[in-house]
Amino acid sequence: MDNHTGLLIIVEKRDSIDYTFIETNIEGAFDLDKRIEVLAHNLINYSTHLEANEKILIEVFDDGLELGKALVRETYKAGAIPFLTVKMQELQRELVLGAQKEQMQLIADYEAMRMREMDAYIAVRGSNNVSELSDVPQDRMKLYQMYWLKPVHGDIRVPCTKWCILRYPNSAMAQLANMSTEKFTDYFFAVCNLDYRKLNEAMTPLKTLMEKTDTVQIKGPGTDIKFSIKNMPAIKCSGECNIPDGELYTAPVKDSVNGTITYNTPAVYQGVTFTNISLIFKNGKIIKATAADKNVELNKILDTDAGARYIGEFSFGLNPYITFPMKDTLFDEKISGSLHFTPGCAYDDADNTNRSSVHWDLVLVQTEEHGGGEIYFDGKLIRKNGLFVPDELQCLNPENLK
């Protein structure tokens, strides 16, 4: 995209994808409604590849009305069939606070029946308060995860539909990013309309290298950890399942992880914010876990089930426009120069056999301003202070992706 700013419209044809770049000054001169229409077009035609007569469930949480309407319109333009759910986190909190196991199973049965009929799924999560569920007791949240979320989303939506999850810019998200609402809205659309075709192509050399690698070592402040990714596939994420996107993930061999990792990015889980999380591993298992003043809460999460103390994902963050954490996983896990090392369930397409109702993307940023660090593949330096070192991987450095 050179040094221009603007929006990328992605048009998928039968045997090709066209990319049309609309130039604008990104300072608000471009009409907000148009930016929403562009994003909706990309979500329907590229992210979910929606085809005529396919059924899509669109779920809007809290904010996101305008994008929800645009998605419905784009679905009809594609000749497909939209289904719609609108949820509010405040109401969800009240429901979970009093719900029993049998009630959650019944709700899950209802939602699972509908999800099985869907070809695609888009969730617009415009949360008004990321801490809305923070005071829901752990036993309630565990029931909610195990008997409602997992049967619907973990067992059906993720493996069986073309799905995409994204946020919606509002004042709550702007506050998390320490930005004005106007500036954050501009930032949101710039990040979400990255040239994902260019990113996808740039990922190929790293994917190839990862699939040839045995031992990975990560070093940095409070971090020295080794593990194997031998014979594990590496999966590109370039604008389909998440918006914003930009990561390349695999999974460690389940029992191969040894050493310590200390994360430098705040992490929100079930409405609670954790900082300075440090995990010590022995033969794959987390044997000690600390987190500033929330050690008890952290270990309760890791004791959810047996798989929660093993790692299900190792991933590189690669989005050149995302450069700082804002306590939102969909953004933070894509930070350029970052990695995430995820306690909990592995994905089916990079499966190390670990199973859990937990999948918690904890982020370590290794850029120089965040303390730096190195990643080695089979003893060779691959990335230093967030920048790739080998010639064939420098196409993934931020200046080459913008």
Highest mean pLDDT out of 99-103, 172-176, 390-394: 390-394
Specify the pLDDT at position 402.
84
Least confident of 25-29, 135-139, 145-149, 169-173: 25-29
Specify the pLDDT at position 24.
39
Reported CATH class of domain 6-192: alpha beta
**Is residue 58's pLDDT more than 70?**
yes
The residues, any chain, with a CB within 8 Å of residue 285's CB and separated by 6 or more, are: 255, 309, 310
Specify the pLDDT at position 82.
98
| Single pTM value for the model | 0.77
pLDDT band at 7 (very low <50, low <70, confident <90, very high): very low
CB 383 within 8 A of CB 366: yes
CB 350 within 8 A of CB 251: yes
Q: Which helix (H) or strand (E) holds 260?
A: strand 258-262
Specify the pLDDT at position 359.
95
* pLDDT tens-digit series, residues 339-359: 999 999 999 999 999 999 899
**Is residue 1's pLDDT more than 60?**
no
CB 40 within 8 A of CB 76: no
CB 315 within 8 A of CB 247: yes
Sequence spans of domains, the chain: 6-192, 196-401
CB 200 within 8 A of CB 236: yes
